[in-house]
Structure 1
Amino acid sequence: MRPMKNGKTGPALVLCQKTSGDEMEVVVKCSIGCEQKEASLAAEVIGACLAADLGLPIPEPFLVELDPNFIGSIPDVEHRDRMAMSNFVAFGSKHVTGQYSAWTNGNLISEGMLPNAAAVFAFDAIIQNPDRRDGNPNCLVRGDEIRIIDHELAFAHGLILFWKAPWVLGGLQNLETPGLHIFRAGLMGRAIDYTPIRKAWIDLSDARISEYGNAVPTEWGVATKSVASALQLIKDARDNIDACITEIQRVLQ
């Protein structure tokens, strides 16, 4: 339908047909535009599955098959070439409509928004997502409602030298830097109830977490190692969620 205005990965708005035959507008992200190619798309899938189970507000995720005939019909040369060079399975999110706007520094965390904002901050901290920051919020807002998007940079802890886990003292030190997370300033000094956050993480079973990996298509086979690393991080964080929350509290004090 058109290129999206924002997004360094070069996403496009595509009218897709579901297996049921229904049509839906989907924001499609192709492997060629991502830093880690298929591994980045795998991070999107795992992040979406985890966020849904944690009750976080994300757009409905999809795997999108890029048919060669469709690719050949795209009039925009840049996007036609981008899709042609990509894995034929892409990642997509249902297009968010209805007067949502991008989060800005002027937005405040209301009392109604507080539980979701705190849960999202914990989610990003644990999955090592560096990409919800001032200037690139990856968060849409409408009143007290938010929608979080774009998690392709998460679970990259295996690429970080001297990485510290989020349940270790100092493991979230980077989040102490002003502007590195859009919600930190608004959460500092607030009375946050961590009980729902803790329960949501503890309720994740090994079998359920394994299903996240099964949701990653076999066509992204080169991402196998990063998928295993992501699933292990989730399991370890669940098993150490109290220590994770202690570290989160420390950076929000």
Structure 2
Amino acid sequence: MSKITAGNYRLPIIEALSPHESFESGANKPLLLTGVDSNGNKGDYVVKFRGAPRMSNEACMRELLAVFIAAQMDIRVVSPVIVNISQNFIELLIGNDTWQYANKSLGLNYGSEYIKRYSTVLPTQDLNNHQLPYAQAIFAFDLAIQNPDRTNEKPNMITDGMEIVIYDHELAFSFIHDIFPNPNPWEIREADLEWVNKHCLLSKIKGKEFDFVEFSQRFDNLDENFWETAKALIPKEWLSNQFDRIKQLLTSICNNKEAFIIELKKLMS
């Protein structure tokens, strides 16, 4: 997807038409469906019902914001959409396991374009020279947004053998749940190492050459224009004070990016 600050960026609003299979491996059972956009174009999308486990208005906001940040930092990520779930669509799911979630999700839900011909990045799979730079940037990105949900059990990445594309970020920005927040979020605390060391890419990228200067420059894309554009794109009913807290933390990392890169070097060396 393109950066949201690009002049031609539009976040599609999709009307759900017909359901297909659900993804049983997901904790919240995302559903593959066919939908239509405002121009009458049909396509296949994956929706994460707002009423499913681990989902909520705020989780939808975190999903969307994480994708916006990833694209802004030139990380390959699934293209997001907003999926409208109607009562008629819910009735099509009667007898389906996902009905119980859809029935609590009338209205706007987070979704993404369905990417075909890509496969999951397996924990046992070695990275080739094409995939390595993507993997390194993904790890650095996850560290910045404090995403503990990319593990060997749940990589949340797909590949065509060349690029790696990421998805699934409702548990990102884990600092919002901290009782005692880190006053210097650009520094990695001892407690953070518990989830950092479980990241499925760390062992694959450790000790490999990486352009830390170039990655540091990507933080410059998270300027005030980005945050204003992101806030305007997120449905109002999804917004809460979590948005401002996320903005504050990421901005502090941007303002102290040199110190963050030092921490990143320690982990990746």
The answer to whether residue 98 in structure 2 is matched with residue 82 in structure 1 is no
The answer to whether residue 234 in structure 2 is matched with residue 216 in structure 1 is yes
Q: Relative to 1, partners in 2 of residues 1:60 and 1:19: Cα closer, same or farther, differing over 3 Å? A: same
**Structure 1 contact 103–141 (Cα < 8 Å) conserved:** yes
Give the deviation of 1:214 after TM superposition.
Answer: 2.1
**Structure 2 contact 123–155 (Cα < 8 Å) conserved:** no
Aligned to 1:235: 251
Equivalent of 2:120 in 80, 102, 107: 102
Greater shift, 104-113 or 39-48, is seen at 104-113
Unpaired segments ≥5 residues, structure 1: none
Greater shift, 163-172 or 121-130, is seen at 163-172
Give the deviation of 1:69 after TM superposition.
Answer: 1.5
How many correspondences in the alignment?
Answer: 248
Distance 1:42 1:101 in 2: 26
**Structure 2 contact 28–55 (Cα < 8 Å) conserved:** no
Q: TM-score, normalised by structure 2?
A: 0.86
The amino acid of 2:260's aligned partner reads C
**Structure 1 contact 166–247 (Cα < 8 Å) conserved:** no
**Structure 1 contact 175–251 (Cα < 8 Å) conserved:** no
The answer to whether residue 198 in structure 2 is matched with residue 173 in structure 1 is no
Aligned residue runs from structure 1 range 11-90, under 5 A: 11-35=30-54, 37-90=56-109
Q: Relative to 1, partners in 2 of residues 1:76 and 1:227: Cα closer, same or farther, differing over 3 Å? A: farther
Distance 1:92 1:136 in 2: 19
Equivalent of 1:5 in 15, 24, 28: 24
Give CA deviations for 1:188-242 in whole Å, capped at 9, x if unaligned: 111111122111112321121222222220132xx41112111222212211211
CA RMSD of aligned residues (A): 1.8
Distance 1:146 1:138 in 2: 10
Give the deviation of 1:58 after TM superposition.
Answer: 1.0
Equivalent of 1:111 in 112, 125, 129: 129
Q: Relative to 1, partners in 2 of residues 1:76 and 1:96: Cα closer, same or farther, differing over 3 Å? A: farther
Aligned to 1:204: 222
Equivalent of 2:170 in 126, 131, 152: 152
Unpaired segments ≥5 residues, structure 2: 1-19
Distance 1:175 1:250 in 2: 16
**Structure 2 contact 46–112 (Cα < 8 Å) conserved:** yes
